[in-house]
Amino acid sequence: MNVLILGSGGREHAFADQISKSKLLNKLYIAPGNAGTGLCGTNVNLSLIDFDAIRNCVISLHINLVIVGPEDPLVNGIVDFFEQDELLKNIPIIGPSKKGAQLEGSKDFSKQFMMRHSIPTAQYQTFTQNQLKEGIAFLKTLHPPYVLKADGLAAGKGVIISSNINEATQELTEMLQNLKFGNASSSVVIEEFLDGIELSTFVLTNGTDYLILPEAKDYKRIGDGDTGLNTGGMGAVSPVPFADKAFMKKVEDQIVIPTIKGLKNEQIPYLGFLFIGLMNINGNPFVIEYNCRMGDPETEVVLPRIKNDLLEVLSKAANGNLNEIILDIDTQTAATIMLVSGGYPENYEKGFEISGLNNLYESTVYHAGTVLENNIVKTNGGRVLAITSLATNLTQAFNKSYQTAASIKFSGKYNRGDLGKDLIKYL
């Protein structure tokens, strides 16, 4: 098979790495890719908002399967674009329809969906631009902390949590009236604060059958001890020590099954990954959010634990035979740490040479923001590299990744130093 992966982050490198080892693979392409994906296949330079360029690429390269990494093309309807095109409509594309992607593309849509299907989540109300007064009145009926969410996609920045009613009121005004997050905040979901511990679960479904992939926990804040600004993710680990069998059974029964049944009953086509952000409150799961794709850096710890031929799994999902797959999961712990550019998630510089990438026996290095220029690998983004290690336990896995991290160098390199420490008490 000829496979095209859309995207350019650590997630896409992890997909490319796994798929490059498949016995079913003929040629692998990644668009636009990065310096790491270029080691697994051929990078194709195109923009993910240019659906016509993607179409030309799929046709001219005789692609048999497309995997969509990030959410934007899905929310913008790439799957529907394929379905409506005579030459593309029979080429399987792993990702949900535009309607299915609304589970991530609109917080209000996802909250309404959860309410319709009695899926446990925080209580909420949605307010539009001309309902600022009502929104402020609603805030005053809640207890702090206050949770405000821009309805639309806001590059992971659209959630504001504040303990102060005046600050929350001001933020709501900024979001609704001054469109702090552009059109994404022309509607705002205000919801109850869920006090618990977070983790994520990942499902691959064809809309009928499903596989629950290994769960993971990511670290969102830039600073040690979960301080400072939110990022795309500074590291991740799988399995999650506090997600025991009883808890995961509740996740399946109360969340995964009703979600897939709900999509089916509402005739929303969904072939692809569903990422469910969860809060564990005293052993009970609540949905914080849905994403219509895999997580990054969660993919960098989830995929290394899946021993199956990933391309076979995805082909079966696309052909309606997902029920034939039994997942073979590595019982080891996978831990990844992100090396980021100094200044991230605010302003940072790019173009620094990265050294120490050869001879890394203990870990797998997934490239995120990197580029190959004149045979030199250089930094090309905020999150630069994800370093994943497998070991018999969480402490050893993080230790290995930290050792590898220390041997890789670039100007301004930063990583969190405390990953995994919060979980030791659950071991």
Give me the residues that bind ligand GLY (CB under 6 A), please.
218, 232-233, 291, 295-296, 298
Q: Rounded to 5 degrees, what are φ and ψ at 50?
A: -95, 85
**Residue in the structure block whose two tokens are 């896995």:** 397
Cβ–Cβ < 8 Å for 401, 386: no
**Residue in the structure block whose two tokens are 């992939």:** 213
Cα–Cα distance for residue pair 273/295, rounded to 1 Å: 10
User: Is residue 167 classed as helix, strand or coil in its secondary structure?
Assistant: helix
Cα–Cα distance for residue pair 108/244, rounded to 1 Å: 31
Is residue 151 near ligand AMP by the rule CB under 6 A? no
What does 218 bind: ligand GLY, ligand AMP, none (CB cut-off 5 to 8 Å by kind)? ligand GLY
Q: Judged by CB, which is closer to ligand AMP: 32, or 277?
A: 277
Q: Judged by CB, which is closer to ligand GLY: 144, or 277?
A: 277
Q: Judged by CB, which is closer to ligand GLY: 28, or 302?
A: 302
In the complex, the smallest distance separating the C-beta of residue 192 from ligand AMP, rounded to whole angstroms, is 6
Cβ–Cβ < 8 Å for 14, 69: no
Cβ–Cβ < 8 Å for 275, 298: yes
Cα–Cα distance for residue pair 8/367, rounded to 1 Å: 9
What does 72 bind: ligand GLY, ligand AMP, none (CB cut-off 5 to 8 Å by kind)? none
Cα–Cα distance for residue pair 403/387, rounded to 1 Å: 10
What does 233 bind: ligand GLY, ligand AMP, none (CB cut-off 5 to 8 Å by kind)? ligand GLY
Is residue 142 near ligand AMP by the rule CB under 6 A? no
Number of residues that bind ligand AMP (CB under 6 A): 11
User: Is residue 175 classed as helix, strand or coil in its secondary structure?
Assistant: helix
Cα–Cα distance for residue pair 157/180, rounded to 1 Å: 11
In the complex, the smallest distance separating the C-beta of residue 356 from ligand GLY, rounded to whole angstroms, is 25
In the complex, the smallest distance separating the C-beta of residue 106 from ligand GLY, rounded to whole angstroms, is 16
What does 251 bind: ligand AMP, ligand GLY, none (CB cut-off 5 to 8 Å by kind)? none
Both tokens of residue 238? 């799988």
233 burial class (0-12, 13-18, 19+ CB within 10 angstroms)? buried
Residues 267-296 that bind ligand AMP (CB under 6 A): 277, 288-289
Residue range at the interface with ligand AMP (CB under 6 A); choices 78-86, 179-187, 190-198, 353-361: 190-198
Q: Are strands 146-150 and 159-162 parallel, antiparallel or unpaired?
A: antiparallel
Is residue 418 near ligand AMP by the rule CB under 6 A? no
Cα–Cα distance for residue pair 148/133, rounded to 1 Å: 15
Give ∠ CA 210-212-218 in degrees, rounded to 5: 140
In the complex, the smallest distance separating the C-beta of residue 60 from ligand GLY, rounded to whole angstroms, is 31
Binding mask 197-226 for ligand AMP (x = CB under 6 A): -x---------------------x------
**Residue in the structure block whose two tokens are 């995929």:** 303
In the complex, the smallest distance separating the C-beta of residue 306 from ligand GLY, rounded to whole angstroms, is 18
Binding mask 227-266 for ligand AMP (x = CB under 6 A): ----------------------------------------
* Amino acid, res. 164: N
Is residue 147 near ligand AMP by the rule CB under 6 A? yes
DSSP state of 235: E
What does 191 bind: ligand AMP, ligand GLY, none (CB cut-off 5 to 8 Å by kind)? ligand AMP
Chain residues that interact with ligand AMP, rule: CB under 6 A = 122, 147, 159, 191, 193-194, 198, 220, 277, 288-289
